[in-house]
Amino acid sequence: MNYFYIITNSMKDADYAITDRIITCLEEHGKQCFLYDGGEVPQHMDCALVLGGDGTFIQASRKLLGMDVPMLGINMGTLGYLTEVEVQNVESAIGQLIEGRYSVEERMMLYGSVAGGTSDVALNDIVVGRNGSLKIVHFNLYVNGEYLNSYQADGVVISTPTGSTAYNLSAGGPIVEPTASLILVTPICSHALNSSSIVFSDKDEVEIEIGSRRDGTPEEAAVTFDGADITTIRTGDRIRIKKSRNTAKIIKLSKISFLETLREKMKGN
């Protein structure tokens, strides 16, 4: 690796002290660094170093979409699933990278599109939820064009295995091993007994159609991709969600398994 792209959450590293440490370390090893400035990502990057928490890492995966650049997360938040390296271990982590002592995991992403409107990707999840109203959302679920069920709920989370430990888990959904390739659908606070999550194949296409309110007036909902890029949809609109052709490539330095990380997270619960 010779060309490193650095993405820093300026709220977590306000004075860029850690970022500067990383740049200095890399340059001492004769490597070139490029700092994210909000513009286009330079071509031919060998690696992206992402400083922040899991949220920063997820947004970085979308910035690097289709560029085939593996990412290493440097944790400046709480214990995360994606940001593996702690700040105090930055220099040794860079040493491992340069020596080639790492592996790369590919993580499934989702692609969502609204007819005649927005399309985007997500590493964690695509959420259809209330649009500023306290009223529940009425929506219909279709799989591969076939009607499956209707829900009255605060919304629905369509998640990847990577996102299974995020909003999906908070909504009562299952935890899935992150390198699996599946689509999870979990209603949020459903007003019914049939509110269990459903797990689909990565070859399936899920559609969420916004229904009408009980009084027949139009419904309105908001779609978010990894918690960002809000799109408003209304009664009769559908969002189609399937496995993206793109994947996120995550660098792993340690031999710590997902189960061990999960065990540590669960100690506080």
Which amino acid does the sequence have at 19? T
- Annotated catalytic residue, options 54, 125, 226, 237: 54
Residues 6+ apart with CB under 8 A from 201: 182, 183
Q: Is 246 helix (H, G, I), strand (E, B) or coil?
A: strand
Distances 187 to 78, 129, 134, 193, 252 between C-alpha atoms, Å:
27, 10, 16, 11, 32
Nearest to 81 by CA among 257, 267, 269, 268: 257
Answer whether 140's CB lies under 8 Å from 147's CB.
yes
Q: Is 54 in the active site?
A: yes
Task: DSSP letter for 192, please.
Answer: S
Active site (catalytic) residues: 54
